[in-house]
Chain A
Amino acid sequence: MNPLAPYPCQRLQSRPTSRREMLARCAGGFGAVALAALRSDPLFAGVETPVAGYAGHGPHHRVRAKNVIFLYMDGGPSQVDTFDPKPMLDRFNGKDPGQLFDMEPTQFNNTGSVLASPWKFKQYGESGLPVSDLFPHVGQCADELAVVRSMTSEFPEHTFANYFLHTGSGLQGRPSMGAWVNYGLGSESQNLPGFVVINGGLIPPGGLDCFGSGFLPASYQGSIFKPSGTGVANIQPIDADPQLQRQKLDLISQLDAEATPAFGEHDSLESAIRNYELAYSMQMAVPDVMSLESEPEHIRSLYGLDAKYEPTRIYGAQCLLARRMIEQGVRFVELTCPNVGADRWDQHSNLKKGHEDNARAVDQPIAGLLKDLRQRGLLDETLVVWAGEFGRTPFAQGKNGRDHNQYGFTVWLAGGGVKAGTVYGATDEWGYKAVENRAEMHDLHATMLHLMGVDHTRSTFRFSGRDMRLTDVHGHVIEGILQDDPA
């Protein structure tokens, strides 16, 4: 038996390769395989000749962010209780909002009185950015944030809004942001997927299709990881004995070598054969990236892995994993929320308890992530995005909850070329509707792509008679939150 080699099927690589194959192979990784499959498809006319080193169409302009970590705040955190303080709510607390401003129909149609935020706001850092007491740790990173207070969505229902936030369309079946990014830029990782969703426990309404590849090839689907154990499905060799699996892989390549000449030479078969090399290396890489024990103690506690509250530990592990994955070149990592027992950020009642629990789960881990990325010099090339699918009403639902509000809410971005310590846009004095520098989801998408070097109007895929885009026919880059280009 041969000594253990990283790629058991290497002998198959000795076959002569075409220029096209060569190009794909140099690009390496998962995106390359997908692209090889695409290019062997006569229909695939949309892709330009790839720039060396990139498997997708490649960047259109300067790349500020190589990776994205998307902190998805499932359920819709309340803007007026987090990053958008509104003193008017204190003044008019308990008053009938119908007497004060025009109200739109809401999902639950059970509107109560104006509800002041139960939390105090403090100004943090040099920027003096106000952050509520829900996020004392994130507050310490205020100078890293670009807070967009004028985000809007088109949908007040979770599922529509989730699809919209993730895919740029309110309907099911469109490619997720992470899929688009990998389609455009390819993955830099040789042995991990380019789009990973680390599921803390709550898959959002709308289900796994929030992370789908839609009409893009399946290779761009988000891979669902758990923050513990084996991480991802089917990664653990079914053969308990690693020696046996290697023998099997060896036999597979031997028999393939015997049988494939009868097919003639075809890219599709070549790619399928190479999949086994990638699968094998992935089997090794995943346990590697999953092994959080290897992190030093101070890092583990920075992320809250030693917290008393279990959801904090779970989210801490997710954040730490996210950092480890982008270090490995995973292009887009999304984190879903852990289950805090009550509900996701969807406090139709008991706002205080529910928001407190959800914030407690994510606050320290997020701050840990930002600090860790900063100290490693990774934050400048990693875009961190914090967003829910919508915000919440400044008036109560029932007595002590808040209903969905898509007319104005807050998201923030950090690192990856955004202007740190800024506030962009504003809601009205009630924190209800965006009135200044109103931003749309499409704008957020356009901006994220822009920071990754992609022109959102040029990253297209032809489907159903149209050149589809993440931003559909909309979207403007939010210039106001971009770092000034020194050049």
Chain B
Amino acid sequence: MLAGTIYISFLGAAGLLLLPKGSVTAARILALLTAIAGFALALTSFVHHRSGELFTVTRVPWIPTLGIEYHLAADGISLTMILLTGIIAITGILFSWNIVERTKEFFAFYLLLIGAVYGVFLSYDLFLLFVFYEIVIIPKYFLIAIWGSTRREYGAMKLAIYSFVGSTMVLIGLIAAYVVAGSKTTSLVDLAQYPFSLHFQMLAFPLVFVGFAILAGLWPFHTWAPTGHVAAPTAASMLLAGVVMKLGAYGCLRVAMTLFPLGLGPWGFHVLGLTSWRDVFALLAVIGIIYGALVALVQKDFKFVIGYSSVSHMGFILLGLMTLNQIGLTGAVLQMLSHGLLAGLMFAVVGRMVYARTHTRELAILGPMNLWKIIPFAAVTFIVAGMASMGLPGFSGFWAELMILTGAWRSYPAYALCVGFGIIIGVVYIWRAMLKAFFAETGVELTSPQPSLPPITLPERLGAIILIGASIFVGVCPQVFQNIIIPAFNSPLFEGLRKGSWQ
């Protein structure tokens, strides 16, 4: 049944293309219904599979000559990500209600992207996972290049090239692993249990990990993220930050770390005090957290603030992965969910509620408009999102960051301190952006914005409420997710990781 999420999205995309020319409302409604149907399926599965154990959805031979199967399965981690995808899909459509130019195509690309994302999260065959992973690139490119704003063609191309280079690295590792294991199967579980030599894992792990981590915004390969986010239309930046970056992190966890667990082990020598790839990536993650936060602190463009904050928050996820203990890894998955919701919400505020009305994102120009009086809903939403993003208790970010910090404290006490510093800068940049964007400083002459801004519409309110509600739900009952994420790490897929460097 869960496989339906993929098919429904693709069918919806095809159905949109068949609509008669110029049917804007019909396109919106069809897209929304498709997204809701996908979410409903995801939610039903989520409720049915409370154990979090791995279960097979579909498994049929696909290309028997090469031992490739069409194998969809899910565990607690996949279910969490599927649920996130469903929520972001619905709210993204709600926040794109104002798209009037080439509406049909917009939503068709959008649903194609969503379907492929569902596919990645559900694939348990490496080849199949890669197929879905690459399908994501093309609609992403067109969504930005056609409907984007600031330097959209540059941002779109940069994003496409970065993604493709990343997936090329993954493909090299994938082909090598497949051939070394005897060219018999691409099943993720079978490959994960194949005893690759230490030497091979040491080379393949960084290749595949970085390949995926490029999409997860790993410093210093993150530069596509801010430009891509800024250039993208609202719904696309919500998707990018909300789920597409998670694809990268998910790939790191699901593919790179499970296939080559020995690659995380010590090299046997020191370079600058680093002793393993794990140290290297943990360090890069921490640099990403602090660098992203510091850069976000000095941005003039409202959307760039959020773009860099994404880089910073994705650093938490990667650090959580590198802690290699249960609490850190669970925190990383929870952070994927939390950041997906919150980044989506923030991009919605900036892109849809503010930019679509004022046609500027310059903090210096937004400030004197004193927007909190004109569109208070936007201001309140941003404040709530900012609070959640800072990691205040009661919101999703709190638990995720707490768990990652605890995990990091056990593995890398020094890094945990740096991360704490990063969290403080996080408070500062959110605070600064909030003040500058919505509240005029005293003594500044108020500029009245273009003849009275249109009020916040119903779809926008709905979308914001869904996202805030979801974040609060995760913040209040994190155990709902913890209970299904933790058992997922007991599956045979993670055996190598548990036996190896697990702490």
A and B, one complex?
no
> A-contacting residues of B (Cβ < 8 Å)?
none
